[in-house]
Amino acid sequence: MGATARKLQPKSIAGRQYQPYLEASWGIKNHWYPAAFSSELPERGTKGVMIAGHEIVLRRSRGKVYALQDRCIHRWVRMSDKPLRVSDDHMTCWYHGFCYGLEDGVLKTIIGAPEDPIINQVKIRTYPVQEINGLIFLFVGDEDYKPIPPLAADLPIRITDVPNPPGHPLDKEVYVRGIHRTANSNWRLAVENGFDPGHILIHYDNILMAATERKLYLGAEPITPAAVKMIDEPDGPKGIMNMYYDQSAYRMVQENPIVKMKVRGRVDYPVRTSMYLPGVLLVENWPLQGWAQYEWYVPTDDQHHEYWEVVVHPCHNADEREEADYLYEGAFEKIALRDFNDRDIFAREAMQKVYGSGKGWDKEVLCSMDTIIVGWRKLVSQFNRGIQEPPDFLE
């Protein structure tokens, strides 16, 4: 059985199908990524992040967020290591006082050498920033990439084909709240875990399932090509969707008599997942019906990713927001974002032990449930705006 399956996915064929994806260990570039929650960056606050090998320092000044290269070109220390705030107009290096303009990154002055001839002649790079609904996004990639696409092009589509559609991060009246944390695996393993139809098994005995008496199927087997929908909007999102709502496209496995396992729970409402470039998951009707969970798997380096878990729900007034806070603080963060998704982190890190060496991509034996994963790999290979190279500081 194993030998037969191996013949279906030899290395040469896999490489031709999605070679750019296999090369994207540092991520794909020239895309929008979340960098911080607004609450993490108060007025005059400074925060260092790393996205796809780019070391970036965030600074809020007069209410606006700026993003600059987090290395002073003088002696190459990270400015975020010891924030020095001497002016609301500059990012100042703590070591020798090089002061860079927040808007353009140009060296405006040196605290101890205000007449130095290199002033106004050198600069550090800046990054485009968008802040909306408590999330700070950065456009990361080539400094001269033009035109910069709208943020909406790197987010999931708005869901309009269901009653009471879930909220979208760009909506005006929406509740957005969540966490992010570092996980010890490559970003691609995180993405593939996020919408893998077969990984439901790892959540089989989770407390969230027991507490809500919610049905959790043993797996989902695609039975027609309609099980997978490709999303390619002109100048918009590129993604792939598990069409779980279409019962003729998937067989939702409720029992395996060989191992005597059955679906638990009695409450059944549909959950649909979809994944979009550059690596953002949408889970509809989760953690509860009418909500949505968005997850970003932001590459930091080739061995780690920043795992973003954000719940979104339409909110039109203070009472609805108070109810959303109650659910988030009393249940969602504890048992959904942390306890439930801790199992996903465990799975990704378990895969990293082999995939991190590069051998996993060659040795994996895929099955019918992996159809959408192969589709995702091809999608990224076709629509990425560039493969991120390893950063210069490692060379």
Enter the pTM of the model.
Answer: 0.93
pLDDT at position 7 is 37
Reported as a single tens digit per residue, the pLDDT across 365-382 is: 998 889 899 999 999 999
In the CATH hierarchy, which top-level class contains the domain 149-394? alpha beta
Q: Which residue has the higher pLDDT, 248 or 25?
A: 25
Q: Kindly state the helix (H) or strand (E) to which residue 152 belongs, with its residue range.
A: none
- Domain range list for the chain: 31-129, 149-394
Compute the average pLDDT of residues 226-231: 90
Contacts of 200-208 with C-beta under 8 Å, sequence gap 24+, read 202/343, 202/344, 202/346, 202/347, 203/340, 203/343, 204/261, 204/264, 206/339, 206/340, 206/343, 207/335, 207/339, 207/340, 208/287, 208/335, 208/336, 208/339, 208/340
Reported as a single tens digit per residue, the pLDDT across 301-324 is: 999 999 999 999 999 999 999 999
DSSP string computed for 284-298: ET-SSTT-EEEEEEE
Closest CA to 153 of 395, 381, 385: 385
Reported as a single tens digit per residue, the pLDDT across 335-375 is: 999 999 999 999 999 999 999 999 999 999 998 889 899 99
Q: Residue 283: beta bridge partners?
A: 273, 293
pLDDT at position 14 is 53
Reported as a single tens digit per residue, the pLDDT across 182-203 is: 999 999 999 999 989 888 888 8
Tell which CATH classification among 3.40.50.720, 2.102.10.10, 3.30.499.10, 1.10.10.10 matches the domain 31-129.
2.102.10.10
What CA–CA distances, in Å, run from 314 to 11, 230, 282, 318?
46, 26, 15, 12
In the chain, the percentage of residues whose pLDDT exceeds 90 is 75
Q: Residue 309: beta bridge partners?
A: 179, 295
d(CA 370, CA 373): 5
